[in-house]
Amino acid sequence: MSSNAQAPVSHFIRTIIDSDLESGKHSAIVTRFPPEPNGYLHVGHAKSICLNFGLALDYKGKCNLRFDDTNPEKESDEYAQSIQDDVRWLGFQWDGDVRWASDYFQQLYDFAVELIKQGKAYVDELTPEQMRQYRGTLTQAGENSPYRERSVEENLDLFTRMKNGEFADGSKVLRAKIDMASPNINMRDPAIYRIRRAHHIRTGNQWCIYPMYDYTHCISDALEGITHSICTLEFEDHRPLYDWVLDNITIPCHPQQIEFSRLELHYTITSKRKLLQLVNEKHVSGWDDPRMPTISGMRRRGYTPEGIREFAKRIGVSKSENIVDMAVMEGAIREDLEARAPRVMAIINPLKVTLTNFAGAQAREADFHPNHPEFGKRFVPISRELFIEADDFAEVPPSGWKRLTLGGEVRLRHSYVMRCDEAVRDAAGKVSELRCSIDHDTLGKNPEGRKVKGVIHFLSREHALPAEIRLYDRLFTVPEPDADKEKNFLEFINPESLTVVHGWVEAVVRDAAPESHYQFERLGYFCTDRREHQPGSKLVFNRTVTLRDSWTKEHT
């Protein structure tokens, strides 16, 4: 994928890179995207992907995809594959092969041995509870572990035996020997290895000790020659440890860690634990449920890579709080689909119309897109029986009504002017059919002597195809569903986040492939479902976004 044709938006990370290149500190940049394969990527990851891969593209550098696979119980091949699919779908490609922290397990072990030999790491036997007590608090210094002054020889022996599986899980850890009185708790002799017998997705049962993230990440960056290690602000307090590890081992490269604010998107959550809870408790249909903020969920809903990349550009990169309303995301998607989605007509809530003077009526050709003649044209058929939206008829119209009412006229989209002559009721007294007449002289031209203001869409009942239409809305009813610590975030799930209707669509979409985008005129932007839509037989459409931001007006 080529970078955006427009000039990149400047931000503080670009300023750092520009300075590093100008000074000769680096001749080219190398970034990385380092997810843990313990879940599906979400919208916050999309921002990071666009940043890391986008910088590499703009500066003609490289970006690595590296899995942080140091927590084997929670990781799976399914997650790893989904992450690769998401990165590619967003339009990016990593440099070379996929990399894994497990590629470096032997080197990470060897560097730990080096720290032990320097007297800068030791094997500790405190229980987790004791370790918390010894660590101190934000206002109180920690205390040295009674095992802190073990000899180098004893630590080497114990660490070797940890690797060989002689001790029980959790009975010992290897800790960096830094400063238990440091004001930064991350520097109070952090654990860098723990014993954990768990089958690893790549190394199997080869290892029973695994390195901790803070220790693994900085060394992996250095081994890969990363120049700028970009992460979110919660890792700012971890940067001194990042630097300490690299300063105390024999490794020629020392990447610069740079932090930016993480994305908080209103009306959703980005906690992997809570997203997993939604899936496991079946509040959603899976990780790719179109209501989920996962990249796969956004894709299934019909969001486009271009729209997501534009969203990431609009929200920017800074160290200040990055809380963004869902309307910003929806706006970026809506603008992208406006330019790329063909127009067709669909009926969600059908009301039957019978044309009493249908004889001699003709179909008319219509553009798929008013501004893109290259999209082509299609015929819009008409027949004696039509479907219109039930909401487009009112017996007692409100003030300013421009749609259909008894005795009133409207223009049928791409067709004739039609007058409603009679409303037929069912046994319950509900209007079940309209009997109407068309003005045969109004195909492609205005009627003489009167002005018809309203335009409604319609379908020929004879030609229309049945379709399952899924109307998706925001998953939560409040902007910050996990902000209230006194309430469970599940209490704020929107009961109307999904409405399934059985509607009708133009026959021209019969063979549309999965993930085809359309604007259903007057209704919104829709996408054929990538899982369940079957061209020619089972038509399933997901509403991607409405034609305009109605949520903000309705909920403020």
What DSSP string describes 12-49? HHHHHHHHHHHHTS-SS-EEEE---SSS--BHHHHHHH
Name the CATH topology of 269-345+464-556: Ribosomal Protein L25; Chain P (2.40.240)
Domain residue extents for the chain: 105-213, 269-345+464-556, 349-456
The class (CATH top level) of 349-456 is: mainly beta
pLDDT for 462: 97
CATH superfamily of 105-213: Glutamyl-tRNA Synthetase; Domain 3 (3.90.800.10)
Q: Do domains 269-345+464-556 and 349-456 have the same CATH topology?
A: yes
- Could you give the residue numbers annotated as active site? 36, 262, 272
Task: Please tell me the distance from the alpha carbon of residue 36 to that of residue 75, in angstroms, as a whole number.
Answer: 8
Closest CA to 241 of 216, 219, 214, 212: 214
pLDDT for 554: 56
**One pLDDT digit (tens) per residue for the chain, 556 residues:** 444 446 678 899 999 999 999 999 999 999 999 999 999 999 999 999 999 999 999 999 999 999 999 999 999 999 999 999 999 999 999 999 999 999 999 999 999 999 999 999 999 999 999 999 999 999 999 999 999 999 999 999 999 999 999 999 999 999 999 999 999 999 999 999 999 999 999 999 999 999 999 999 999 999 999 999 999 999 999 999 999 999 999 999 999 999 999 999 999 999 999 999 999 999 999 999 999 999 999 999 999 999 999 999 999 999 998 999 999 999 999 999 999 999 999 999 999 999 999 999 999 999 999 999 999 999 999 999 999 999 999 999 999 999 999 999 999 999 999 999 999 999 999 999 999 999 999 999 999 989 998 999 999 999 999 999 999 999 999 999 999 989 999 999 999 999 999 999 999 999 999 999 999 999 999 999 999 999 999 999 999 999 987 655 555 4
Cβ partners under 8 Å of residue 452, min gap 6: 409, 410, 411, 417, 446
Closest CA to 39 of 251, 248, 274: 274
pLDDT for 521: 97
pLDDT for 548: 87
pLDDT for 3: 41
Q: What is the DSSP letter of 271?
A: -
- Is residue 134 within a helix (H) or strand (E), and if so which, with residue range? helix 128-135
Alpha helices in 190-256 (DSSP H): 213-223, 239-247
Task: Please tell me the distance from the alpha carbon of residue 543 to that of residue 251, in angstroms, as a whole number.
Answer: 52
Task: Please tell me the distance from the alpha carbon of residue 170 to that of residue 306, in angstroms, as a whole number.
Answer: 46
pTM: 0.94
- Is residue 276 within a helix (H) or strand (E), and if so which, with residue range? helix 272-280
The dihedral built from the CA positions of residue 367, 369, 375 and 379, taken in this order, carries a sign that is negative
